[in-house]
Amino acid sequence: MKNCKLWLFSFIICFIFLGACGNSNTVTKEESSKNKERETKQEEYTDGLMTKVGQKKKGEDGQIYELKKIKILDQMTNIDPLSINIQDVKILSITNISNDLLESYQEGINLKLKDPINYIQITYSAENKGKIDLLWSQISHVILNTKEQVNVKENELIDSGEWELFSGAKKDITQGIPFESDPKDIKEITFVFNYSTGNGTTVTPEKKVKVTF
The correct CATH number of 56-212 out of 1.10.1060.10, 3.40.50.300, 3.40.50.970, 2.60.40.4170 is 2.60.40.4170
- Give the DSSP letter string of 160-204: ----EE-TT-EEEEEEEEEE-S-GGG--EEEEEEPPEEETTEEEE
| Residue 76 contacts residue 84 (beta carbons within 8 Å) | yes
**Boundaries of every domain in the chain:** 56-212
- Band the pLDDT of 99: cuts 50, 70, 90: very high
Q: What is the value of pTM for the model shown? A: 0.78
The CA dihedral of 88, 130, 201, 159, to the nearest 10 degrees, is 30
Structure confidence by residue, pLDDT tens digits, 108-156? 999 999 999 999 999 999 999 999 999 999 999 999 999 999 999 999 9
End-to-end CA distance of the chain: 85
pLDDT of residue 152: 96
Looking only at the bridges linking them, the beta strands covering 207-212 and 170-179 are unpaired
pLDDT of residue 30: 59
pLDDT of residue 196: 97
Structure confidence by residue, pLDDT tens digits, 32-83? 555 555 544 545 898 889 999 999 999 999 999 999 999 999 999 999 999 9
> Which amino acid would we find at residue 45?
Y
* Helix, strand and coil in the chain, % to nearest 5: 25, 40, 30
pLDDT of residue 85: 98
Measured CA distances, 86 to 12, 76, 139, 191 (Å): 75, 6, 12, 11
pLDDT of residue 44: 87
